[in-house]
Structure 1
Amino acid sequence: MAGESNWELERILLDIKADRAEPRHLPLEFLKDITRDFSDDLELGRGGFGVVYKGVLKNGEIVAVKRLKAALGIVDKQFENEAHLLRLKHENIVRFLGHCSESRHVVVKHEGRDCIAESQEKLLCLEYMPNGSLDRHIKDASSGLNWNERYKIIKGICSGLHFLHDENQTNTPVIHTDLKPANILLTSEMIPKITDFGLSRLFGEQQTRTYTESRGTHGYMAREFLLHGKITKKSDIFSLGVIVLEMITGNRDYPWSNGTTLPQDYVKHVRKFCPHAWYIL
Structure 2
Amino acid sequence: MTAASSVDVVARLRAAGCVFAEDEARLLIEAAGATGAELDVLVARRTAGEPLEYLVGWAEFHGVRVGLTPGVFVPRQRTEFLVDEAVALARTRGAPPVALDLCCGSGALGLAFSNILAAEDISVTLAAADIEPAAVECARRNLAALDAPVYQGDLFAPLPAALRGRIDILLANTPYVPSELIARLPAEARDHEPRTALDGGPDGLDIFRRVVAGARDWLAPAGHLLVESGAAQARTATEILTEHGLRARVARSEEYYATVVIGTRPGVTSAR
TM-score of the pair, normalised by structure 1 = 0.26
* Higher CA-based Rg: 1
Counting helix residues as a fraction of each chain, which structure ranks higher?
2
TM-score of the pair, normalised by structure 2 = 0.26
